[in-house]
Amino acid sequence: MVRPLRMKTAALATVVALVQGCAQPPAQQPPSDATVADHVAAATRAAGTDLGALLTLCKPAPATRPADAELDRSLTALIAKPPPPPGKAFDNLYFVGADWVSAWALQTSDGIILIDALNTQVEAAALIEGGMRKMGLDPAQIKYIVVTHGHGDHYGGAPYLAKKYGARVVMSERDWTMTETRLEFATPIWGAPPQRGPRDLAVQDGDRLTLGDTSVTLYLTPGHTLGTISPVFDVRSGGQTHRALLWGGTSFNFGKDLPRLGSYIDATRRMSTVVSAQRIDVLVSNHSGIDGSQAKLAALRQPGAAARPNPFVLGTPTVERALSVMGECAQAQRDRFAMQ
């Protein structure tokens, strides 16, 4: 039964190859100022009037990573900013983050899945534990801490919370290896990387994390780090269920690395198909400047907000446009570096 199927498949492949040979698509243009401008224009069209924050990705990125001293100065200033209040984005999703970096508490019927853990133990105690209590959540119910990628502004508070509450720390196999060997950014301002004999839960692309009535699918979206993961899960608002994507890593702060930009581009394209197939209509980030979460949370705190559409619900076409903006900006940056 198998052999004839293989023969038919081989014959079909031959026909396809012959057809493709007669109608090859036009060759890709070599990188130039014109191709950069084309990608930026495509990103601008996709951004429309509502996704302009993502266009910061289209600005030229530095060819080298920031020096430690420069990074320390910028981090010190960012961490010193007054934190926003915690907020309820959906019936089961809460913001418990800082001014520039976010943490999200996903409530389930059997505990809480925390997505990212901020910069330090101090922030984890004040903003995650303190924020959860303000929102009526019990930090002792944190069962899992999903670290979207191995930079300290996302894992900094994880060891403290894991030790205090016995929570399991989840990170991709690739980023566990990075945090155990050579950190991309090593600064004492951040907390130590999470370790638990020496690692806890290492996940692969497509793995599912289930707690109570909630399942989170973890997609590998390399680029920002080689092991960035982007969780997809259900959220509820006003009696309706929506499908949410949390994009795990956005900026191009890794220097001139064409293969890495290529991975980022591929990830945006691949996740666009996932968004379409699963009708994902919510896009959130682990940085408020990317998803505008602070303005949306402020809108939800206004009188009468319950009678208005939830501002976090963008619609599937808008989530697809956001991925297009990120992908086009990444292509513009790849072309810039290729010309250097």
Q: What is the tens place of the pLDDT at every residue in 43-86? A: 999 999 999 999 999 999 999 988 888 899 999 999 999 999 99
Q: What is the tens place of the pLDDT at every residue in 82-125? A: 999 999 999 999 999 999 999 999 999 999 999 999 999 999 99
Which pLDDT value is given to residue 68?
Answer: 81
pLDDT over 70 for what percent of the chain? 91
Which pLDDT value is given to residue 199?
Answer: 83
Rounded to 5°, angle at Cα 15 from 13 and 20: 90
Instruction: Provide the token pair at 338.
Output: 């290729």
Instruction: Provide the token pair at 182.
Output: 């050579």
The dotted CATH code for 29-339 is 3.60.15.10
DSSP letters, 168-228, are: EEEEEHHHHHHHHS--SS--TTSPPPP-SSS-SEEE-TTEEEEETTEEEEEEE--SSSTT-
Q: What is the tens place of the pLDDT at every residue in 12-47? A: 343 334 334 444 445 678 999 999 999 999 999 999
Which pLDDT value is given to residue 20?
Answer: 44
* Residue extents of the structural domains in the chain: 29-339
